Amino acid sequence: MRNLLLCIALAVTILSVSGQAKKPILMVVPSDSYCDRNAFVQEFTDEAGNTRSISDYNKAFKSAESEELRLVISELSKIMAERGFPLKDLEQTMKSIAQSNVELSLLQSSSSGSAIRESPIDVLKRTAQADIIMDIDFSVKIRGPQRFITYNLRAVDAYTNKVITAVAGDGKPSSSASVGLLLEEAVLNYMDDYTSALQNHFDDIFTNGREVVVVLRVWDNADVDFETDFEYMGETGMLGDIMDVWMDDNTVNSRFSRVSATENTIRYEQVRIPLFKMSFGRERAIDARGFINGLSTMLKAEPFNIQSKIYERGLGEVWLILGEK
Amino acid sequence: MKTKYLFTLMLTTLFCLTTLPLDAQSARSVNKGMFKSAASYEVQVLGVGQDGTKVFRIWAYDKTVEAAINKAKRDAVAACLFSGLPGSGHTNQTPAICKLSDEETHEAFFQEFFAYPDKKGNGGAYLRFVNRTTDEPPSGKYRVQMKGGYKIAIDVQVMYNNLRSYMEEKGIVKKLGHGF
């Protein structure tokens, strides 16, 4: 009886999930210029002896001067949640990562005392990730007795690095309003335009497919490369050209750009992938990994017989490394 | 020659008689469909409103001041829905809530939504989303007597977020991220 109930619950869950495309994660991230201006940076010396700096978000949120940043992020989060698109919180995500790092280092199995298996890549990927970065920059300017806000908010696709939308401008100067009020006004002033552009971007995704980046690589010990000849569909061609044929057949309206290609690497950008694919008997939502899975399956079969590893960098970028898993 | 002249005159008269009523009819239908996108709303944004609201001044024309005020209130909602609000000074533009095609696709809905209240007070839902910032009748440069009526301007507050949510609830517009 319990199994039957579990099966029904599973079926209901699957049915309710079907028809929903994979949702991108949005996160507000303070811009590098904001962090630099407010000294929220970490400095280090690289191999060449040059001093370089990177934004330190932990410092940005812990600083006493971060009150304004938190206020802007809260206001943006509130508006996006009201519009039905809650944001992933950067500060909370970083706390959660720090917490899980501690837990992972302490966790042991009760029978053998074994630790959790983690590769260096697993460690590297435990970072705050988002598909669309809401890059925020603002500063309080003073003109005579008046203060005003210079505000700049961009939405950037984390994989294609394309700016989806951007709003920027100066707020109305005031000699009496608090900085908090001026900031709130700045956020409210631009949000309708901003969310409207985001909606247009999502509409474009549903019409023309999700835009992703696909990179094909070869393991160092592989016995094939992209110049190896194969017979495919009655013709002989180089593996790299056969990859183009597969992309042409499987992208939405054959939309993709091969931006670079060598015997070891092929990089495709502006690849428009369908949001859904027939898989295990029914239509399922897919991301870049689900899309490239089809190519991996094709390469595994005759006449190629090539094993490959899929390495995903999020919803929108995937690498397929040929030779072995 | 005289017959030819008379024939031309008759033809011209007949042409005028047949086309003029048609033009008048066409103008009336255009007036009845006042919320069509072709309508141009005279709007001046007064600043960034409170969260979820838009505050602006809107002009309207009608036979009486009261009728013009009612028309202005309805136009204020229609402007937010179909044309958006222009930017002004330090205020950014606001995009229209609906797409151009929505007016035609959901024509019956909008006819009902924009219906003026009858004597019993039963009117379209648009009234829920617009408030005047004062009850005083417009005066001075905001009340101009013209031939056949008045052109007035009133300051209104439109509950923009509530209006958008209502349109989402009724399936007229999609929620942000709909389909994900």
Q: Is residue B55 part of a domain?
A: yes
Distances (CA, A) of B122 to A13, A68, A198, B54, B73: 43, 47, 37, 25, 16
Q: What is the 3-state secondary structure (H, E, C) of chain B?
A: CHHHHHHHHHHHHHHHHHHHHHHHHHHHHHHHCCCCCCCCCEEEEEECCCCCCEEEEEEEEECCHHHHHHHHHHHHHHHHHHHCECCECCECCECCCCCHHHHHHCHHHHHHHCCCCCCCCCCCHHHHHEEECCCCCCCHHHEEEECCEEEEEEEEEECHHHHHHHHHHCCCCCCCCCCC
- Do B49 and B26 belong to one domain? no
Q: In angstroms, rounded to a whole number, what is the distance separating the alpha carbons of residues B26 and B34?
A: 13
Does one domain contain both B93 and B18? no
Local confidence band at A21 (pLDDT 50, 70, 90 cut-offs): confident
Identify which has the larger pLDDT, A180 or A244: A244
**B interface test, pick of A165, A182, A192 with most B CB neighbours within 10 Å:** A192
One domain for residues B12 and B65: no
Question: What pLDDT, in 10s, does the model give residues A130-156?
Answer: 889 999 999 999 989 999 999 999 999
Mutant choice from B45, B46, B50, B51 vs A, greatest count of A C-beta within 10 A: B51
Please say if the pLDDT value at position A9 is more than 70. no
CB atoms < 10 A from the CB of A257, how many?
Answer: 10
Share of chain A above pLDDT 90, in %: 42
pLDDT attached to residue A180: 86
Query: What residues have CB less than 8 Å from A290, skipping those under 6 apart?
Result: A277, A279, A284
Q: Is residue B178 part of a domain?
A: no
Structural domain tally of chain B? 2
Residue B71 lies in a domain: yes
- What's the average model confidence in pLDDT over A264-290? 88
> Residue B64 corresponds to which amino acid?
T
Looking at per-residue pLDDT, the higher value among A138 and A23 belongs to: A138
Which of A235, A236, A237, A214 minimizes the C-alpha distance to A226?
A: A237
**Contact residues, chain B to chain A, C-beta under 8 Å:** 47-49, 51-52, 89-95, 160-161, 174-180
The pLDDT assigned to B55 comes to 92
Yes or no, beta carbons of A185 and B48 under 8 Å apart: yes
If asked whether residues B90 and B118 sit together in one domain, one would say yes
Segments making up each domain of chain A, as ranges: 22-31+65-109+123-206, 209-322
Under 8 Å between Cβ of A184 and A143: no
pLDDT at A63: 79
pLDDT tens track for A237-268 = 999 999 999 999 999 999 999 999 999 999 99
Of B54, B44, B129, the closest CA to residue A193 belongs to B54
Residues B11 and B66 placed together within one structural domain of the fold: no
What's the mean per-residue pLDDT of chain B? 82
Q: Which amino acid is at B46?
A: L
B48 → closest Cβ in A83, A188, A196:
A188
Determine the structural domain holding residue B117 and report its residue range: 39-169
Mean pLDDT calculated for residue range A2-8: 51
Query: What pLDDT was estimated at residue B6?
Result: 67
Is there a contact between A209 and A21 (Cβ–Cβ < 8 Å)? no
Element (H, E) at A247: helix A239-250
Residues B25 and B43 in one domain: no
SS3 A43: strand
Residues B47 and B117 in one domain: yes
How does pLDDT run across A77-116, given as a tens digit for each residue? 988 988 888 899 988 888 888 888 888 888 888 888 888 8
Q: Closest by alpha carbon to B132, among B41, B55, B61?
A: B55
Q: How many CA atoms lie within 13 A of A260 on its CB side?
A: 7
What kind of fold does domain A22-31+65-109+123-206 have according to CATH? Double Stranded RNA Binding Domain (3.30.160)
How far is Cα A166 from Cα A33, in angstroms, rounded to an integer? 16
Residues B60 and B98 in one domain: yes
Is residue B177 domain-resident?
A: no
Cα distances (angstroms) measured from residue A114 to each of A106, A110, A121, A312, B40: 10, 8, 20, 27, 72
Give pLDDT tens digits for B92-103.
899 999 988 888
Q: Are A243 and A227 in contact (CB under 8 A)?
A: no
In this structure, are B78 and B27 located in the same domain?
no
Nearest to A84 by CA among B10, B93, B180: B180
Interface contact B179-A22, CB threshold 8 A: no
Residue B179, domain member (yes or no): no
CA B12 to centroid of chain Cα atoms: 37
Give the number of other Cβ atoms within 10 Å of residue A242's Cβ. Answer: 22
What count of other Cβ atoms lies within 10 Å of the Cβ of residue A263? Answer: 14
Dist CA A297 CA A304 (whole Å): 10
Among A118-132, A169-183, A218-232, the least confident range: A118-132
Q: Which of A34-38, A63-67, A284-288 has the highest mean pLDDT?
A: A34-38
Residue B36: the pLDDT is: 42
SS3 state of residue A291? helix
- Residue B97 in contact with residue B164, Cβ under 8 Å? yes
Write down the residue that tokens 């409103």 correspond to: B49
In this structure, which long-range contacts are made by residues A117-121, counting pairs with CB atoms below 8 Å and at least 24 apart in sequence?
Answer: none
Three-state DSSP state, A253: helix
Predicted confidence at residue A11, as pLDDT, reads 44
Give me the helix-helix angle, A179-208 and A67-82, nearest 10°: 40
Segments of chain B scoring below 50 in pLDDT: 21-22, 24-25, 30, 32-38
Using an 8 Å CB-CB cutoff, list chain B residues near A170: 90
Q: Which two tokens stand for residue B34?
A: 């006042």
Bridge pairing between strands A229-232 and A308-312: unpaired
Residue B148 lies in a domain: yes
- Asked if residue A13 has pLDDT above 50, the reply is no
- Does B15 share its domain with B73? no
Residues A64-86 as b or e (16 or more Cβ within 10 Å = b): eebebbebbbebbbebbebbebe
Contact B92 A199 (CB under 8 A): no
* Chain A: closest CA distance from residue B62 (Å): 32
- Does A117 have pLDDT greater than 70? yes
Q: Choose the closest CB to B92 out of A23, A184, A193.
A: A193
pLDDT of residue A17: 44
Residue B59 and residue B27 share a domain: no
- B91 & B164 share domain: yes
